[in-house]
C-alpha cells in the first residue's frame, strides 16, 4: 500500500515537474520581451529628448543669413571710397551710414562729411566733421576738411583756426592723405585773402620748402600776388616764371585734354601778369617777350578773344 502511495506521489511530483517544465519557456519568454520593451522605450525617449534639444540649438527657420549681414564696417568704407571716386555720393553716404551704425569712428565720420560737402549738404558735413573731432581731437584730415568747408561758407576766421589745428595735429599724428606742403599752402591762401601779405609769403615759402608731395604752380602764382601787393615786382616776376616752368614740366602728365587746356590758360595768364610787372619796372623788352609767349599759347588754344587782346598790347608796345 505504501509503495503504491509512494508511487502515486512520485507520479504526481513528476507530473508537476513535467508541467512546470512545459510552462517554463512561456514565462521566460514574456520576461525577456518585457525587459526589451522597457529598454527600447528608454532608448527612444533619449533620442527624442536629444533631438528636441538639437532642434532648439538650430537657427530659427525665420532667420536668414544675407550677404549684407556678413559685410564688415571696413567693407562698407571701401565701397564708399570707390563710389566717391566715381562721384556716386548718395551711394557712398548710404554705405557710410551702415559703417557708422556698425562701428562709428572718426575717420568714417570724416569721409561721410566729405561726401556731404561734395553734394552741397554743408550743415550735414559740418555735423560729421564735428563728430569726427569729438572722437579724435587730433584728426588732421577732419580739421583740414572743416577748414575747406568754412572757406566755402566764407567763414575765414574759423577756417584759419582749423588750418592751424590741422598743422598741429599733423605734427602730432601724421596722416598719409595730408602733407605739410598742402597745409601751409592752404594757410597761405587764407592769409592772402585776408591781405596778410607777409603771412601769406611766409606760408607759401614754407610750402615750397617741403620735400613731400608735388609743387603746385598756384603756390608760386599766389606768392607772386603777395609780392605784387608789397611792391616787390622782381620777386613777383620770378614767381610767375617759376609757375610757368612748373606747368611746362607737368602738362604732359595731365590726365586729360581739358586739364591741359586749363593749365595752358593759367600759363598764358601768368605771362600777361609778368609782362605788366616788367612794364612797371621799365623792362619793355621782357614785357614784349612775355606777351609774345602769351599770344602763342592763346593761338594754340584757339582763344580768339585773348589773341585779340594780347595783339593789341603788343601793338601798343611797338
Residues 24-76: tens digit of each pLDDT:
444 444 455 555 455 555 555 554 544 544 444 444 445 444 445 446 767 77
Q: Tell me, yes or no, whether 301 lies in a domain.
A: no
Q: Is position 128 within any domain?
A: yes
pLDDT digits (tens, 9 = 90+) for 204-219: 999 999 988 889 999 9
What total of structural domains would you count in the chain? 1
Has residue 143 been placed in a domain?
yes
How high does pLDDT run on average in the chain?
83
Kindly state the average pLDDT of the residues 188-195: 97
Lowest mean pLDDT among 27-41, 137-151, 164-178: 27-41
Look at residue 149 and tell me if it is in a domain: yes
More confident residue, 161 or 45: 161
Q: Which residue in this structure is represented by grid cell 550743415?
A: 123
Q: What's the domain range around 129?
A: 72-178
The pLDDT of residue 23 is 46
Grid cell locating 127 = 555735423
- 1 three-class SS: coil
Taking Cα atoms as reference points, which of 224, 301, 229, 223 lies closest to residue 264? Answer: 301
pTM more than 0.75: no
In a domain, 119, yes or no: yes
**Domain-located, residue 214:** no
What digits encode the pLDDT tens for the residues 293-313?
Answer: 999 999 999 999 999 999 999
14 falls in which pLDDT band (50, 70, 90)?
very low
> Is the model's pLDDT at 275 over the cut of 80?
yes
| 175-to-54, 118, 136, 229 alpha-carbon distances in Å | 52, 21, 13, 34
Confidence label for 107 from pLDDT (cuts 50, 70 and 90): confident
What was the pLDDT predicted at 44? 53
- CATH code where residue 76 lies: 1.25.40.10
Query: Does the residue 131 lie in any domain?
Result: yes
Rounded CA separation 225/232 (Å): 10
What integer is the mean pLDDT of 17-22?
A: 44
% of the chain residues with pLDDT over 90: 60
At residue 71, the pLDDT reads 60
**CA nearest to 123, candidates 99, 148, 149, 100:** 149
Kindly report the CA angle at 177 between 103 and 212, in degrees rounded to 5? 160
How many angstroms separate the CA atoms of 134 and 107, rounded? 11
In a domain, 103, yes or no: yes
| pLDDT at position 3 | 44
Greater model confidence, 243 or 251: 243
Report whether 157 contacts 191 (CB < 8 A). no
For residue 280, the tally of other CB atoms under 10 A from its CB is 14
Q: How confident is residue 97, by pLDDT bands cut at 50, 70 and 90?
A: confident
Amino acid at each position: 500500500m505504501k509503495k503504491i502511495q509512494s508511487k502515486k506521489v512520485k507520479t504526481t511530483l513528476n507530473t508537476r515537474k513535467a508541467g512546470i517544465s512545459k510552462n517554463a519557456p512561456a514565462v521566460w519568454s514574456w520576461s525577456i520581451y518585457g525587459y526589451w520593451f522597457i529598454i527600447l522605450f528608454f532608448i527612444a525617449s533619449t533620442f527624442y529628448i536629444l533631438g528636441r534639444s538639437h532642434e532648439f540649438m538650430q537657427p530659427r527657420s525665420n532667420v536668414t543669413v544675407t550677404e549684407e549681414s556678413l559685410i564688415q564696417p571696413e567693407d562698407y568704407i571701401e565701397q564708399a571710397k570707390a563710389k566717391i571716386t566715381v562721384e556716386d555720393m548718395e551711394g557712398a553716404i548710404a554705405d557710410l551710414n551702415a559703417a557708422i551704425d556698425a562701428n562709428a569712428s572718426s575717420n568714417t565720420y570724416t569721409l561721410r562729411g566729405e561726401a556731404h560737402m561734395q553734394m552741397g549738404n554743408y550743415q550735414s558735413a559740418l555735423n560729421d566733421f564735428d563728430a569726427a573731432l569729438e572722437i579724435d581731437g587730433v584728426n588732421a584730415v577732419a580739421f583740414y576738411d572743416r577748414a575747406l568747408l568754412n572757406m566755402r561758407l566764407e567763414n575765414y576766421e574759423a577756417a584759419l583756426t582749423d588750418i592751424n589745428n590741422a598743422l598741429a595735429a599733423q605734427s602730432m599724428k601724421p596722416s598719409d592723405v595730408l602733407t605739410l606742403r598742402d597745409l601751409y599752402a592752404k594757410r597761405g591762401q587764407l592769409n592772402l585773402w585776408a591781405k596778410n601779405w607777409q603771412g601769406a609769403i611766409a606760408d607759401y615759402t614754407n610750402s615750397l620748402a617741403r620735400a613731400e608731395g608735388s609743387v603746385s604752380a598756384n603756390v608760386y602764382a599766389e606768392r607772386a600776388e603777395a609780392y605784387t601787393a608789397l611792391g616787390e615786382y622782381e620777386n613777383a616776376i620770378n614767381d610767375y616764371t617759376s609757375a610757368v616752368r612748373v606747368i611746362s614740366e607737368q602738362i604732359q602728365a595731365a590726365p586729360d585734354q581739358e586739364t591741359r587746356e586749363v593749365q595752358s590758360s593759367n600759363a598764358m595768364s601768368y605771362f600777361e601778369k609778368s609782362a605788366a610787372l616788367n612794364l612797371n619796372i621799365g623792362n619793355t623788352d621782357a614785357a614784349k617777350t612775355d606777351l609774345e609767349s602769351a599770344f602763342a599759347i592763346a593761338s594754340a588754344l584757339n582763344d580768339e578773344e585773348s589773341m585779340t587782346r594780347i595783339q593789341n598790347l603788343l601793338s601798343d608796345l611797338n
